[in-house]
């Protein structure tokens, strides 16, 4: 009986730790949204498809200006190997 109770407590601790981790992740995600200065022209939200297209069109233009190109498959392979 004592062993069973001990296992139950261990399981309960694991469950609480998982919930704590999830809450911390949610909080970190919300805080990350506040991080860095992003001008309104570079940020969309909601369901307005026109707004989303305009914002990403501007972002894609900026990415094109600042980068020389590449191969996304190779980049991700490298990312997952190191």
Give the nearest distance from C-beta 11 to another protein in angstroms.
Answer: 13
Residue placing its CB nearer to another protein in the complex, 2 or 45: 45
Q: Cβ of residue 19: shortest distance to another protein, in angstroms?
A: 11
Residue 49: CB minimum distance to another protein, A: 5
Q: Which residues contact 55 (CB under 8 A, 6 or more apart)?
A: 41, 42, 43, 44
**Interacting residue ranges for another protein, rule: CB under 8 A:** 18, 22, 25, 29, 32-33, 35-38, 42-47, 49, 52-53, 55-56, 59-64, 66-73, 75-77, 79-81
Contact assessment for residue 59 and residue 42, using Cβ atoms and an 8 Å cutoff:
yes
Q: Which two tokens stand for residue 6?
A: 């001990």
Residue closest to 13 by CA, chosen among 25, 3, 21: 21
């Amino acid at each position: 009986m004592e062993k069973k109770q001990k296992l139950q407590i261990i399981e309960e601790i694991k469950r609480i730790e998982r919930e704590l981790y999830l809450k911390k992740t949610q909080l970190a995600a919300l805080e990350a949204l506040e991080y860095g200065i992003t001008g309104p022209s570079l940020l969309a939200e909601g369901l307005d498809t026109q707004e989303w297209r305009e914002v990403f069109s501007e972002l894609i233009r900026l990415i094109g200006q600042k980068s020389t190109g590449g191969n996304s498959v190779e980049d991700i392979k490298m990312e997952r190997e190191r």
